[in-house]
Amino acid sequence: MAKLYHLSRRLSSKIFVRGFCRNLRRKPVKACAETTAFSRNTCHNGLSDAERFRSKRGKDMKFFRKLALAALLTALLTGTCLARETFHGAYLQGFPDGSIRPDAAVTRAELAEILYRMMDLDQRRELSETESVFADVPTRHWAYDAICAMAGARLMLGGSDGCFRPDDGVTGEELSIIFERVRAQETGKRALPELASGWASQEVTFEAGNGWVMGLHGTEFSREQPFTRGELAALLNRILGREPESLLDLLVGMPLFSDNLDTAAPYFLALQEAAIDHTAEKTGAHERWTGLG
pLDDT, tens digit, 9 for 90 and up, residues 54-106? 666 666 666 656 666 765 565 555 554 455 899 999 999 999 999 999 999 99
Lowest-confidence range among 39-43, 187-191, 209-213?
39-43
Confidence of residue 200 (pLDDT cuts 50, 70, 90): confident
Does residue 3 have a pLDDT over 60? no
CA dihedral over 158, 159, 163, 169, signed as positive or negative: negative
Mean pLDDT of the residues in the chain: 79
Q: Around Cβ 105, how many Cβ atoms within 10 Å?
A: 18
pLDDT, tens digit, 9 for 90 and up, residues 109-126? 999 999 999 999 888 888
Confidence of residue 131 (pLDDT cuts 50, 70, 90): confident
Angle between helices 193-200 and 229-240 (to 10 degrees): 90
The Cα 85–Cα 227 span in angstroms is 31
Lowest-confidence range among 51-55, 93-97, 150-154, 260-264?
51-55
pLDDT, tens digit, 9 for 90 and up, residues 5-19? 454 455 445 444 454
The count of C-alpha atoms lying within 13 angstroms of the C-alpha of 145, restricted to the half-sphere facing its C-beta, is 11
**138-177 b/e (C-beta count within 10 Å ≥ 16 → b):** eeebebbbbbbbbbbbebbebeeeeebebeebbbbbbbbb
Q: Around Cβ 203, how many Cβ atoms within 10 Å?
A: 8
Asked if 111 contacts 156 with a C-beta cutoff of 8 angstroms, the reply is yes
The Cα 92–Cα 229 span in angstroms is 9
The Cα 60–Cα 153 span in angstroms is 62
Q: Phi/psi at 192 (nearest 5 deg)? A: -135, 65
The Cα 86–Cα 280 span in angstroms is 5
Q: Report which DSSP code applies to 290.
A: E
The Cα 116–Cα 127 span in angstroms is 10
Asked if 290 contacts 279 with a C-beta cutoff of 8 angstroms, the reply is yes
Asked if 194 contacts 202 with a C-beta cutoff of 8 angstroms, the reply is no
Beginning with the edge strand found earlier in the chain, give each strand of the sheet holding 286-292 in spatial order.
85-88, 278-283, 286-292
